[in-house]
């Protein structure tokens, strides 16, 4: 159990988000991160997820090495 969103979404295979002591969302990290109900629970998506969406990556990436790989595949800068 953690309140560290970055850690939870980077390391977990399954995520449960509680709101007022009850399960609000449950699923794999990418599904939960993409669910609009996440912010209703007072949780902001991870920085990597927001960056991925801002760059138009679909599906969003979970780690820096995945981001670099996606950018290389697009022919974009990686440094």
**Is 27 within 8 Å of 50 (Cβ atoms)?**
no
The per-residue pLDDT for range 55-69, each reduced to its tens digit, is: 888 888 878 898 888
The per-residue pLDDT for range 29-62, each reduced to its tens digit, is: 888 888 888 888 888 887 888 888 888 888 888 7
User: Structure pTM?
Assistant: 0.65
What is the residue-wise DSSP string for 54-73? HTT-SSPPSSHHHHHHHHHH
């Amino acid at each position: 159990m953690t309140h560290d969103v970055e850690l939870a979404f980077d390391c977990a295979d399954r995520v449960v988000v509680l709101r007022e002591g009850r399960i609000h969302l449950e699923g794999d990290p990418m599904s939960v991160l993409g669910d609009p109900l996440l912010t209703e629970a007072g949780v902001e998506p991870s920085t990597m997820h927001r960056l991925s969406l801002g760059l138009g990556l679909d599906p969003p990436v979970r780690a820096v090495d995945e981001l670099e790989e996606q950018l290389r595949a697009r022919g974009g800068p990686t440094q």
